[in-house]
Chains A and B, each alone.
Chain A
Amino acid sequence: MANEVCLRTLDLERPWLLEQYQSRGGYEMLKKILTEKTAPEAIIEEVKKSGLRGRGGAGFPTGLKWSFISRNAPGQKYVVCNSDEGEPGTFKDRDILRYNPHQLIEGMVIAGYAIGATRGYNYIRGEFWEPYERFEQALEEARKAGYLGKDLLGSGYDFELHTHLGAGAYICGEETALLESIEGKKGQPRYKPPFPAHFGLYGCPTIINNTESLASIPMIMEKGGEWFADIGVKNSGGSKLFSISGNINNPGVFEIPMGTPFSELLAMAGGMKNGHKIKAVIPGGSSAPVIPGDQMMELTMDYDTIAGAGSMLGSGAVIVLDDTNCMVKVLERMSYFYHEESCGQCTPCREGTGWLYRIVHRIETGQGRQEDLDLLDDVADKISGKTICALGDAAAMPVQGMLRHFRHEFQHHIDHKRCMVGLG
């Protein structure tokens, strides 16, 4: 049951080409919807039924998100795709853009039809030049074939789609920061409410979904919401792309059913490199709290199970760490990342992420003080839940996770001014 949705064309020679996509029934669902004039409500209902939850990391039910748009409100509405893939450990959307761009386009047009939008943007991170060119090429093909533009396939429905290219800012993966960025501003998150469904791009009603979520739509429409839901487990419908990296033999992107045991995923990824022992797993991108390796080996890859273990499935980015890793060093690097990527807008994150990093850095370099672990806990606590967007939480969670499971390593660094792992 692998590669059934977003990566279903991966076995083709040049799956990014229109004719190759069409050889697997690509754009048939769009044609069907447009010619049969399927009721938009029915599409939203099908998506709800599928149990599809936002694949960017937040896991919000996609169908529910779409239903927040008042479809018949006058004025422009927008569909925005979030391809600003930047959560450390995540590299799945890059593959959708490179290998199956047409399925994303088809998904976006269907989404536009469902909410009554006639314009869309795909926000691709600036570093993704190859995926950007692939996607642009696909847009060109789709326009020529009449799947984009005016009066699609004679249906009277218009939909135009463009790429917006980012320029290097993790925060733009946050949906409202992304909208600001399309508007030609710094990518600083907006205070919510209002949510994008009411006040989105250019102040218009907007749905914004992750690349994988939107690329899943054509298959949900083709085979039905129930089919999709049944691939997965309760509360975690469908299959999902997992990006697995770290100290493993065969890192990569795997599209597997939700609820697959982590041990199976690890086996698919070739197991641990150089025969080392698994020490810890970050199961959902770097902001997800770390889970000790032994515990992880017993878990399945779905929202509820990972949440039950005190972490989150996030974007499905699995970073596997073996026993040669010093967890202080790992946290230092992660904290540096959030410090670098804080947008600087609100106080706790702007000031707190730097503070967190400096404390961890101090411990890592043998300057730690006895009070530092309590201070770390306290600073993380003062950031989390106090910021405009989730970046503050994302910076605090790894700290909290590390201290929960590996406090002794940090304590050792402080007590002995050196690492307890290897030569550290």
Chain B
Amino acid sequence: MTTTTANEKKERFTPEIRAEIDRWIAKYPAEWKQSAVMGALMVVQDSNGGWLTTELMDQVATYLDMPPIAVYEVATFYSMYELKPVGKHKICVCTNVSCMTNKSDLIVEHLEKKLGIGFGEVTEDGRFSLKEVECLGACGGAPMMQIGRQYYENLTPEIVDAILEGLE
């Protein structure tokens, strides 16, 4: 038996996720549900261990009455959306000029050695992934990194060790 058309398009979000997306939708004019796409993608990404599957993007499209391709465009354009699995702790290290001149390369080197992974990779136990990012707007605390939502500034290898130890 084959099932076609509208059947496949039902989204299957939990009530909690729906409520969170609805909070975004409520911020915009009624005819501009699409404005909530960035918020919605962030919500479903968080609920899925930090990354987006095509199925999730399709469900967001259905929920917001958007063509799926319009959701793919957004999800692939902004760098904070992940299209592959990431670690439980996504470590984003800034290497832009102010951080670079304050030796961010040593921080990167230290992290790579300590975790045994390079940029774009996930540790075997799935706890950490590393990502090189552009300026995060905290140049006064260079070198800096972001783990999850938290900024960590004025880093040294020792401080990095302490931070990682403090994570669950």
The CA-CA distance from A330 to B141 in the complex, in Å, is: 19
Answer yes or no: B44 CB below 8 A from chain A CBs: no
Q: Are the CB atoms of A130 and B97 closer together than 8 Å?
A: no
Task: Let me know if A85 and B70 touch, CB within 8 A.
Answer: no
In angstroms, Cα B79 to Cα A166, docked, is 10
The segment out of B12-20, B26-34, B109-117 that lies at the interface is: B26-34
Q: List, sorted by A's number, 25 A–B pairs whose CB atoms are closer than 8 Å.
A: A85-B137, A88-B96, A88-B134, A89-B97, A89-B98, A90-B139, A91-B137, A91-B139, A91-B140, A128-B137, A162-B27, A167-B38, A167-B42, A168-B81, A169-B77, A169-B78, A169-B79, A170-B134, A184-B38, A184-B66, A185-B70, A186-B74, A243-B140, A251-B142, A319-B139
Interface size on A, residues (CB 8 A): 56
Residues of A within 8 A of B33 (CB): 184
List the B residue with the shortest CB-CB distance to A341: B134
B-side interface residues, number (CB < 8 Å): 45
Q: Are B138 and A94 in contact (CB under 8 A)?
A: yes
Q: A184-B64, A247-B102, A333-B97 are in contact. List 10 more A-B contacts (CB 8 A).
A: A88-B139, A90-B137, A126-B38, A162-B27, A169-B77, A184-B74, A186-B74, A325-B101, A330-B100, A333-B96
B35 and A183 contacting across the interface, CB-CB below 8 Å = yes
Kindly provide the distance from the CB of B89 to the nearest chain A CB, expressed in whole angstroms. Answer: 15
Interface string of B56-92 (1 = CB under 8 A from A): 0000000010100010011001111100000000001
Residue of A nearest to B27 (CB): A162
B101 touches A247 (CB 8 A): yes
> Please, how many angstroms separate the alpha-carbon atoms of A130 and B141 in the complex?
15
B135 to chain A, nearest CB (A): 4
Q: Are B42 and A126 in contact (CB under 8 A)?
A: yes
Flag whether B37 is at the interface (Cβ < 8 A): yes
Which A residues are CB-close (under 8 A) to B41? 167
What 1/0 flags go to A164-177 for Cβ under 8 Å of B?
Answer: 11111110000000
A246 vs B137: C-alpha distance when bound (angstroms): 13
Q: Are B35 and A168 in contact (CB under 8 A)?
A: no
Q: How far is the CB of B29 from chain A (nearest CB, A)?
A: 6
Whether a CB of chain B sits under 8 angstroms from the CB of A283 is no
- Bound-state CA distance A184–B165 (Å) is 38
A129 beta carbon closer than 8 Å to chain B = yes
Contact indicator A167/B78 (Cβ below 8 Å): yes
Question: Which chain A residues in 47-96 approach chain B with CB under 8 Å?
Answer: 76, 85-91, 93-94
How far is the CB of B65 from the nearest CB of chain A, in Å? 11
Q: Which of B1-9, B119-127, B144-152, B156-164 lines the interface with chain A?
A: B144-152
CB–CB B134/A286 < 8 A: no
Given contacts A89-B135, A167-B42, contact A246 B37 (CB under 8 A): no
Tell me, in angstroms, the Cα distance from A356 to B133 when the chains sit together: 20
B79 in contact with A167 (CB, 8 Å) = yes
A337 to B136, CA, bound (A): 12
Give bound CA distance, A57 to B97, whole Å: 18
A340 sits at the interface (CB 8 A): yes
What number of A-B contacts does a CB cutoff of 8 Å give? 149
* Chain A residues with a Cβ under 8 A of chain B: 76, 85-91, 93-94, 121, 125-130, 162-170, 181-187, 202, 243-247, 251-253, 282, 286, 317, 319, 321, 325, 329-330, 333-334, 337, 340-341, 343
The 7 nearest A-B residue pairs measured at CB: A168-B79, A184-B34, A167-B78, A168-B80, A245-B139, A129-B149, A88-B135
A286 touches B97 (CB 8 A): yes
Contact yes or no, B137 A94, CB < 8 A: yes
CB distance from A322 to the nearest CB of B (A): 8
Report yes or no: A182 in contact with B35, Cβ–Cβ below 8 A.
Answer: yes
Report yes or no: B32 in contact with A202, Cβ–Cβ below 8 A. yes
- Is residue B129 contacting chain A, with contact meaning CB distance below 8 A? no
Known: A86-B135, A330-B101. A252 touches B38 (CB 8 A): no
A252 touches B73 (CB 8 A): no
Flag if B139 contacts A253 (CB, 8 Å): no
Partner of A168, one of B78, B98, B139: B78
Chain B residues, Cβ within 8 Å of A88: 96-98, 134-135, 139
B118 interfacial by beta-carbon distance below 8 Å: no
Chain B residues whose CB sits within 8 angstroms of the CB of A127 once the complex forms: 80, 92, 133, 136-137, 146
Shortest distance in angstroms between B133's beta carbon and chain A's nearest beta carbon?
Answer: 8
The CA-CA distance from A147 to B30 in the complex, in Å, is 24
* Contact between A167 and B96, CB atoms less than 8 A apart: no
Tell whether A186 pairs with B98 under 8 Å between CB atoms, given A129-B150, A167-B81, A170-B134.
no
Name the residue of chain A whose CB is nearest to the CB of B104: A333
Interchain nearest-CB distance for A133 vs B (Å): 9
CB distance from A389 to the nearest CB of B (A): 15
A164 contact from B38, B74, B139, B146, Cβ within 8 A:
B38
> A243 contacts which chain B residues (CB < 8 A)?
139-140
**Least Cβ distance of B151 to chain A in Å?**
7
Q: Is the CB of B34 within 8 A of A333?
A: no
Closest to A330 in B: B97
Contacts A185-B73, A319-B98, A334-B97 given; indicate if A340 touches B134 (C-beta within 8 A). yes
